[in-house]
Amino acid sequence: MFAKPQAEHQWLEQLVGEWSFEHDCQTPDGESMKSSGKMTCRMLGGLWVICESSGGSSADDKWSSIMTLGYDAAKKLYVGTFVGSMMDNIWPYQGVLDESGKRLPLDSEGPKFDGSGTGKFRDTIEIVDENNWRMISELQNDDGEWTKFMHGHHTRV
């Protein structure tokens, strides 16, 4: 019954540690935000990485979030969730590591920025080196093209 960590779970261990980050966000309606903060990532049973973040650009917009990521061997997919204090929905993740072994695109579905229903989103974790990684967030337009709206850089503390 107990799952055993596999190579895909070991890939997630790269995220374990203490991180500082800078995020730049440009929403489709033209709103621009910068945010910085701290993230702590730990493994749960060798199968899941749990990343807890907190940040904000001022005292008025403090936030916190939790991201979980694991690997479902039966589905052959990375799976997880994202929740944040600034929203009332949960973002389910699933994805496949790209051929380079450095980028993990995680597809999700959630509310569109303009409130017109739900849309497809993608958060991509890109490993730069052992002390740096990026998070890139994109949304899929009606024409099927992907538009980046957030870019974050994480540095090991």
Backbone region of residue 123 per phi and psi (left: phi > 0; alpha: psi in -120 to 50; beta: other values): beta
Neighbours of 154 (CB within 10 A): 24
Averaged pLDDT, 90-95: 98
Instruction: Specify the pLDDT at position 91.
Output: 97
Report the DSSP beta bridge partners of residue 57. Answer: none
Report the DSSP beta bridge partners of residue 97. Answer: none
Instruction: Specify the pLDDT at position 45.
Output: 96
Q: pLDDT of 98-151, one tens digit each?
A: 999 999 999 999 999 888 899 999 999 999 999 999 999 999 998 999 999 999
The domain 7-24+33-156 having CATH identifier 2.40.128.20: the answer here is: yes
Question: CA nearest 14: which of 52, 69, 54, 93?
Answer: 69
d(CA 114, CA 83): 20
- Is the Cβ–Cβ distance between 19 and 154 less than 8 Å? yes
State the average pLDDT for the chain.
94
Instruction: Specify the pLDDT at position 124.
Output: 98
Question: CA nearest 111: which of 137, 87, 135, 95?
Answer: 87
| pLDDT > 80? residue 59 | no
Instruction: Specify the pLDDT at position 18.
Output: 98
Instruction: Specify the pLDDT at position 135.
Output: 98
Q: Label each residue of 75-127 as H, E or C.
A: CCEEEEEEEECCCCCCEEEEECCCCCCCEEEEEEEEECCCCCCEEEEEEEEEE
Instruction: Specify the pLDDT at position 60.
Output: 80
| pLDDT > 80? residue 67 | yes
Name the more confident of 87 and 30: 87
The model's pTM: 0.94
Instruction: Specify the pLDDT at position 51.
Output: 98
d(CA 121, CA 83): 14
Instruction: Specify the pLDDT at position 140.
Output: 95
| pLDDT > 90? residue 1 | no
- Is the Cβ–Cβ distance between 19 and 134 less than 8 Å? no
Cα radius of gyration rounded to whole Å, the chain: 16
